[in-house]
Amino acid sequence: MRRKIKIINGSVITTHRILEHANILVSDNKITKISQDNLNEDADTVIDAEGYYVSPGFIDIHVHGGGGSDFMDGTVKDFLTVGETHARYGTTTMIPTTLTADKNQLINTLEVYREANKKNQYGSQFMGMHLEGPYFAMNQRGAQDPRYIRKPNFEEYSEIIRREGDIIARWSAAPEIDGALEFGRYLVEHNILPAMAHTDAVYEDVVGAFENGYTLATHFYSGMSGVSRKKAFRYAGVIESVYLIDEIDTEIIADGVHLPAPFLKLIYKVKGVDRIALVTDAMRAAGTNVKESVLGSRTNGLKVLIEDGVAKLPDRSSFAGSVATADRLLRTMTGIGEVPLVEAVRMLSLTPARIMKLDKQKGSLSVGKDADIVIFDKDIKIHTVIIAGNIVSKS
């Protein structure tokens, strides 16, 4: 027999509207019916949404940690802790993300991902890894550890991809540094998404990068160049270039700190809902109340402070990742960002699904898609989380 869940009396958020007093039927791990009429079918579990919003599960394509753990800790337990922590806040799918590190640590993290993915029952689904670095511009490193920043090396990245390429979903790099365009082409050949990050590129560099596969801007505005002047002449940086090239997707850390309200409104106005993915970029302190933490591995990471709702380097010279969870992103965009709820949800579901080529199975409440569902109230407090037809969190 097929296991069935019936959600009744919900305000169901579709890609373009809200269906009031609607019902959803889930059979095993798929959505099989959505209707404003009564579903006269028996179910193993009936959830009365009580008029709350019923949303597609949130998809976070850039996340480092949470619940006191970081993926760079390199253990199955830590992977599962991060996934289970963010699941409680509505993230049903995530792309676990590394930090700049040496080759052996990157390979080890990828190997641990394989083991963790087999044991992941109660957390956000892992849909491939995101390698953030180590091929960055030193001047735009932010909180990335300078000890490991280097130029693309074919022998290194080809070995990593040969061994673990089937689980690498995306790789972020600075496209203007030597070897980066060849690196981008190599990623595309192996079905890995190249993204621009921690970069000092100018417009001409970005155009070349886009032509070689770099179609995503990692944490837009953070760790990237804006307009600069050299000998009285002005040059457009990555920020201006991303605005100019319509086809480049953006991800934004919508915690309200990395990007205050005017920036959120500007990005939304220029790029639009279908080119913006909301990400947490969360480090290990997300979902905790600590005041001090570590960015990256417990053994060799960087000490950080947690204040003003964000992680900072000890000298407060730079942010060091966010402590946001997905529900906070939604509150920020609908609040100070003044974005309609339906569109904010799309930026946290269908748009990231499309960017990562997951939209045939995830990203919207549609018949035939995976039953990744979040129920939340008007204050965007999460009440129920369903991942692949399994209730993993319920208040």
Q: Is residue 22 part of a domain?
A: yes
Distance CA 368, CA 391 (A): 18
- Tell me the one-letter amino acid at 248: I
Q: Is residue 369 part of a domain?
A: no
Region label for 67, one of left (φ > 0), alpha (ψ between -120 and 50) or beta (otherwise): left
The dihedral formed by the CA atoms of 38, 44, 46 and 47, expressed in degrees to the nearest 10? -130
Q: Write out pLDDT tens, residues 320-374.
A: 899 999 999 999 999 999 999 999 999 999 999 999 999 999 999 999 999 999 9
pLDDT at 2: 65
For the domain that residue 390 is a member of, what is the CATH number?
Answer: 2.30.40.10
For the domain that residue 247 is a member of, what is the CATH number?
Answer: 3.20.20.140
Q: For residues 165 and 249, state if they share a domain.
A: yes
* 338's tokens: 């003044």
Q: For residues 78 and 186, state if they share a domain.
A: yes
**222 lies in which domain range?**
58-362
Q: For residues 13 and 149, state if they share a domain.
A: no
Q: Is 354 helix (H, G, I), strand (E, B) or coil?
A: helix
134 cis-preceded (ω within 30 degrees of 0): yes
Q: Is 211 helix (H, G, I), strand (E, B) or coil?
A: helix
Distance CA 78, CA 217 (A): 28
Q: What are phi and psi of 61, to 5 degrees?
A: -95, 10
Q: Is 329 helix (H, G, I), strand (E, B) or coil?
A: helix
**DSSP codes, 225-278:** ---EEETTEEE-BHHHHHHH-TT-EEEEE-SSSSS-HHHHHHHHHHH-GGGEEE
Alpha carbons within 13 angstroms on the beta-carbon side of residue 53 total: 21
pLDDT reading at 116 higher than 90: yes
Q: Write out pLDDT tens, residues 162-205.
A: 999 999 999 999 999 999 999 999 999 999 999 999 999 999 99
**Residue labelled with tokens 């997300």:** 286
> How many structural domains comprise the chain?
2
